[in-house]
Structure 1
Amino acid sequence: MAADPRGRDPWARQDALARSTTAWGAASVVAGLGLAAARRGPFATAFGTQNAGWGAVDLVIVVVAGRLKRRRMARLPDPYADDALAAESRTLRRVLWANVVLDAGYVAGGAALWRWRRDRPGAAGASAGIVVQGAFLLLHDAHHAYWSGRR
């Protein structure tokens, strides 16, 4: 099958998701650990630790999602058959839009916690980390859901 010029191949979209999530996750771990180790106060330490933790989870998700993708592809007689591509596209879009809703919840919840905990620098820093990570995931998942298109 020729490459889809509109980027609607769900298998390729999942590879793109994995690449961008890996880059973000690795950057979050490195920057977060660096910030936490710098000992610039409880806000910065908690913010860094929160980002490092989310980055590590992102990396685990990439590994698990990659294995599940390979397993689904192996079970299909032809993973690039029109019906297989259509089914995988629908599933990917549903998962990504569900993630967008969850991501919005992370941003809203983190912002509320940040506001309520503003007098506790460590808790406020951890809450700010949730906002940053949730905002990235919100934009990331919405972008990929939108560009996944319909078959």
Structure 2
Amino acid sequence: MDPWQRQVSLARATIAWSVVSTAVGAPLAARGDDFWRAFGRQQVGWAAVDVGVVVVAGALRKRRMRRSGNPYAPTVLQRERRVLRRVLLANAAADALYVAGGVWLWRAGRDRPARAGAGAGIVVQGAFLCVHDTVQALRG
């Protein structure tokens, strides 16, 4: 598979997830209930960060393509596949830490609904990203 096109495809999937996260999170963030308001804010916040990551990753991809001389040379494609796999695996590890932190926050906030809602929101975002990044890394 073309690693350059794969990165574009991954960016599209991340943008789609961000749209869903915002569509779900924005109405919840406007609610009066502390748990759901915090949960919704996490969804919208993560969506904004994800879009930022996509923008920066896209700019870096274009720069690497320009600087490579021939972005479709076999050695360049092989290197780019390796780099993408490593990035996805590193992201998956970070995502797992987000989930663990979110679980801790959720459980520690049993008597504080806003803290628990934020933790639950982090778990949802981290879990999606962890599964997504792991599956993509394993695809090779």
Runs (4+) off by over 2 Å = none
Distance 2:99 2:32 in 1: 24
Per the normalisation by structure 2, the TM-score is 0.96
Shift of 1:144: 1.2
Per the normalisation by structure 1, the TM-score is 0.89
Gaps of 5+ in 1: 1-7
Shift of 1:30: 2.5
Partner residue in 1 for 2:98: 106
Q: Trace 1:1-150 onto structure 2 (pairs within 5 A).
A: 8-37=1-30, 39-147=31-139, 149=140
Deviation string, structure 1 residues 63-102 (Cα, Å, up to 9, x no partner): 1111110110011121011000011111111111011111
Count of residues paired in the alignment: 140
**Identical counterparts, % of pairs:** 58
Deviation string, structure 1 residues 118-137 (Cα, Å, up to 9, x no partner): 11001100010000000000
Greater helix proportion = 2
Shift of 1:40: 4.5
